[in-house]
Amino acid sequence: MRDKVSIGLLGLGVVGSGVIKLIENHQEKLVHQLGCEVSVKSVLVRSLDKTRNVEVDRTFLTTNPDDIINDPEIDVIVEVMGGIEETYQYILNAFANKKHVVTANKDLVALYGTNLEAAARKNKCDFYYEASVAGGIPILRGIADGLSSDRIQKVMGIVNGTTNYILTKMSNEGFSYLDALKEAQELGFAEADPTADVEGLDAARKMAILGRLAFSTDVALEDVEVTGIKSLELEDLQYGDKFGYAMKLIGYAQSKDHQIEVSVQPTLLSKEHPLADVKNEYNAVYVYGEAVGETMFYGPGAGSLPTATAVVSDLVTVIKNMRLGVSGTHSLEARFKKELRSADQRSGQYYLRIHVKDRVGAFSEISTLFNDLEISFKRILQTPIKKRESAEIILVTHQTSLDNFQHALDQLKKLEVVLQLKSYYKVEGDAAYELAGTTKTLS
Amino acid sequence: MRDKVSIGLLGLGVVGSGVIKLIENHQEKLVHQLGCEVSVKSVLVRSLDKTRNVEVDRTFLTTNPDDIINDPEIDVIVEVMGGIEETYQYILNAFANKKHVVTANKDLVALYGTNLEAAARKNKCDFYYEASVAGGIPILRGIADGLSSDRIQKVMGIVNGTTNYILTKMSNEGFSYLDALKEAQELGFAEADPTADVEGLDAARKMAILGRLAFSTDVALEDVEVTGIKSLELEDLQYGDKFGYAMKLIGYAQSKDHQIEVSVQPTLLSKEHPLADVKNEYNAVYVYGEAVGETMFYGPGAGSLPTATAVVSDLVTVIKNMRLGVSGTHSLEARFKKELRSADQRSGQYYLRIHVKDRVGAFSEISTLFNDLEISFKRILQTPIKKRESAEIILVTHQTSLDNFQHALDQLKKLEVVLQLKSYYKVEGDAAYELAGTTKTLS
């Protein structure tokens, strides 16, 4: 057995520099845990001459991936370069060369995770990707190991720090969406092109990965229904607040009788729900297990050192497995054939805001429409709109099927009394404690 | 290799019945994860005739521990009987017979954990005890695996559900301590004899275990300084609330330069701190790592199935290790000699409530006393007390050493103007984001 494990690092950006710092600063702890030294042997970079915020001997750098992937002395590849197709090939080649791989690349794992697990298994290699979901929070292990004996029914996540920061600003300080986005960009919590974040795609990738692990089925990225936060209006956050809800971009992965649904959508979340208190750029993942009930894992969803912590913890696991001779035995293979729930099988509570003509019987028409569809209301608020002969109606429904609710929306739009259907959002957490199989009530 | 793993269960109470239910209900998942069947072969009980809330074939029951500990067909002992000295002997004997052990027994692990780890190591056996701390929350793995690459600086825990339930009732509904305790007892959240909970001993046991894992040093139960909640007065919760603090029984384990302090004490926690929102009987453990920053693990701290989830997840790990031939390789051995921090090395913020004579210059005398000790105030509130010639003064200090603060208390009591020192509590979370090494600020 080697008395030293050599790492090849693909990428030396924000996370890559963090990985190098952690391996250097915590060498003593690593040696104690692993009984061997760990060192970074080579690093793939785009340019040899760039100034970096970590000291790396220039002789370690290379611009040729083959220098790393084909180096027989390198045991583990740590991929923190990002990108998809090219990176996918590098990792497949690494497995073919019997190298273990740790990655932080959510785009890649969301798209090709299942194939990569299979390639790792075939080559008896380890493949770990804790850092791909919720940065420094050890949530994948939490699900795979900590709750391994339970049957997970529901995962809800605030898994995108940018949008959570924006929503916190809107809620707490009354910022508009655009002003909040601008501030997030100035503080470095949002990128110059925030599309993937604000349209929910980044969160969708993480939910696909979480759904796969939680339900042992091959959730594909295109299975995730996605709605972003770009069209959110402050009014809806304020009405929500008045009713006891916080607006959050929530990723859902739910399973019932092995039929699953995975989505990302702006949600009015009961302030009693543990996720409602997650503020600013923080992430959290709420897991509801049949036996354990409610658990939540909270922490930083991004950042150089938090993400590097997850990468190096994976690395510790990989090296332990190597030294114990059990590499490649932990790969995840789906137990269940994927079956998605249809709209009539999915139920929820919904908030909607409608502008109607301000005349006698207006509300009665709307109420009749919902009544005919057997949708009842939990909350109703009607207020006149100044200087116009119209009124604003806010409704929160009780549980109904998604199918039925969509039907109601279609019919609403056709009513002559309805001027505009302003917005509608999922409502969650009112019934968090009434989940299948439990009669527990919390005050 | 056996195609079936046999378990011996010591105890068939609340947790034991949960373990049996989980193993039966999740057999298919266990077989998939482990590639073998798992079954409970014998169960140690006090009486063979007791009615139980789980169906167990009577032929599986025994009142003789040797039937289990000496049974060569039993691979793993699950200890959920409680007790200390006798149980300790059973487990030592189990290790001597090369059986792996999973326990939920915090009293035992807090007292003899270090010895038991050593005995397991010596016999190449596994020893896991996730359920001993915070029931269903996978916090021990979170620290040992998920944050394995980080250097943990601080652990803060709400690790006793009974006291958190009582404090929630007092805060939210204005109950007195005694009324809240009574309600907790009626609902089954507090035992008939609540001493170990309300005096903080139960929390202290868990903090000793957490401190050991977080700092890799042999924290003993007697190293934990403990203050319970029995003498809490509602007034202090209400003043705290007014100042933006929630009263919580917080377990602390902190390390600086490998000098540690571990304590359990009622604390006024900033409402901005993630632990401040943990309500009712829920538990949560907040971990501050040098690299990862703030993380928190939240969930049920007790209960049959949540605790059984942690036990069976440990069992899954033990059986995986058996099948991979790596049993006994994960034991925890302290890396650092224990060194406790002295009172002058410990600093904090403090709240205090004093009754003084209501006369000119009263506050000035007190203010001079603190000023001479270089303790400055963050908040001051003085209100007259009706129908008495006295006034109540509430102070919240800035950071000062514990030593210095105790010195101030001694001098205060001697002041002629001071009628009574009513109470004092630690204040936490104002400076949570100013921890060593980070300049991060959160709004």
* Domains of chain A: residue spans and CATH: 4-135+304-324 (3.40.50.720), 139-300 (3.30.360.10), 346-434 (3.30.70.260)
Asked if B369 and B408 count as a contact pair (C-beta separation under 8 A), the reply is yes
Check pLDDT > 50 for residue A123: yes
- Which of these is catalytic: B154, B169, B206, B426? B206
Per-residue pLDDT band at B432 (split at 50, 70, 90): very low
**C-alpha radius of gyration, chain A, whole number:** 24
Average model confidence (pLDDT) across chain B: 92
Mutate to test the interface with A, among B27, B124, B292 (most CBs of A within 10 A): B292
Provide the number of CB pairs (under 8 Å) joining chain A to chain B.
184
For residues B316 and B32, the model is more confident at B316
The residue behind tokens 């202090």 is: B236
Distance CA A121, CA A129 (A): 15
Q: What is the pLDDT of residue B438?
A: 34
- From the list B109, B68, B70, the residue with the least C-alpha distance to B88 is B109
- List, in sequence order, every residue forming a beta bridge with A356; answer none if it has no partner: A391, A418
The residue behind tokens 């002003």 is: A179
Distance CA B293, CA B388 (A): 49
Residue among B138, B292, B329 whose CB faces A306 most closely: B292
The average pLDDT across B337-354 equals: 92
Q: Is A309 touching B (CB cutoff 8 A)?
A: yes
Q: Residue B288: closest CA among chain A residues belongs to which residue?
A: A299
For residues B438 and B293, the model is more confident at B293
Q: Do B295 and A141 touch (CB under 8 A)?
A: no
The question of whether A230 is a catalytic residue gets the answer: no
Lowest mean pLDDT among A408-422, B155-169, B425-439: B425-439
- Which of these is catalytic: A154, A169, A206, A248? A206
Number of H helices, E strands in chain B: 14, 17
Q: What is the pLDDT of residue A431?
A: 59
Check pLDDT > 80 for residue B129: yes
The average pLDDT across B254-280 equals: 95
* Distances from the Cα of B368 to the Cα of A191, B355, B363, B372, B373, angstroms: 52, 17, 9, 6, 9
Q: What is the pLDDT of residue A377?
A: 94
Per-residue pLDDT band at A257 (split at 50, 70, 90): confident
Q: Is A244 touching B (CB cutoff 8 A)?
A: no
- From the list A37, A268, A293, the residue with the least C-alpha distance to A152 is A293
Q: Is B297 touching A (CB cutoff 8 A)?
A: yes
Neighboring chain A residues of B134 at a CB cutoff of 8 Å: none
| Tens digit of each residue's pLDDT (9 = 90 or more) over B159-177 | 999 999 999 999 999 999 9
Average model confidence (pLDDT) across chain A: 92
Q: Do A292 and B299 touch (CB under 8 A)?
A: yes
Q: Classify B438 as helix, strand or coil.
A: coil
Distance CA A70, CA A42 (A): 12
The average pLDDT across B340-359 equals: 92
| Angle, helices A304-324/A27-34, rounded to nearest 10 degrees | 30
How far is C-alpha B182 from the chain's CA centre?
Answer: 23
Q: Do B291 and A305 touch (CB under 8 A)?
A: yes
Q: What is the pLDDT of residue A434?
A: 39
| Tens digit of each residue's pLDDT (9 = 90 or more) over B36-60 | 999 999 999 999 988 888 888 889 9
The number of C-alpha atoms within 13 Å of B120 and in the hemisphere containing its C-beta is 28
Per-residue pLDDT band at A2 (split at 50, 70, 90): low
Q: Residue A38: closest CA among chain B residues belongs to which residue?
A: B149
Residue among B312, B325, B326 whose CB faces A149 most closely: B312
Q: What is the pLDDT of residue A84?
A: 97
Q: What is the pLDDT of residue B441?
A: 30
| Tens digit of each residue's pLDDT (9 = 90 or more) over A168-200 | 999 999 999 999 999 999 999 999 999 999 999
Residue among B33, B149, B299 whose CB faces A316 most closely: B149
Per-residue pLDDT band at A438 (split at 50, 70, 90): very low
The average pLDDT across B422-435 equals: 76
Check pLDDT > 80 for residue A387: no
Check pLDDT > 80 for residue B227: yes
DSSP designation for B377: E
Mutate to test the interface with A, among B29, B149, B255 (most CBs of A within 10 A): B149
The average pLDDT across A96-119 equals: 97
For residues A205 and B148, the model is more confident at A205
| CB proximity under 8 Å: B 196-235 to A | 216
- List, in sequence order, every residue forming a beta bridge with A260; answer none if it has no partner: A255, A340
The average pLDDT across B252-272 equals: 95
Here the ipTM equals 0.90
Q: What is the pLDDT of residue B1?
A: 55
Sequence letter at residue A191:
E
| Tens digit of each residue's pLDDT (9 = 90 or more) over A314-330 | 999 999 999 989 999 88
| Tens digit of each residue's pLDDT (9 = 90 or more) over A274-330 | 999 999 999 999 999 999 999 999 999 999 999 999 999 999 999 999 998 999 988
* Distances from the Cα of B130 to the Cα of A224, A289, A320, B66, B91, angstroms: 34, 17, 20, 25, 16
Residue among A137, A145, A151 whose CB faces B295 most closely: A137
DSSP B167-205: HHHHHHH---HHHHHHHHHHTTSS-SS-HHHHTTHHHHH
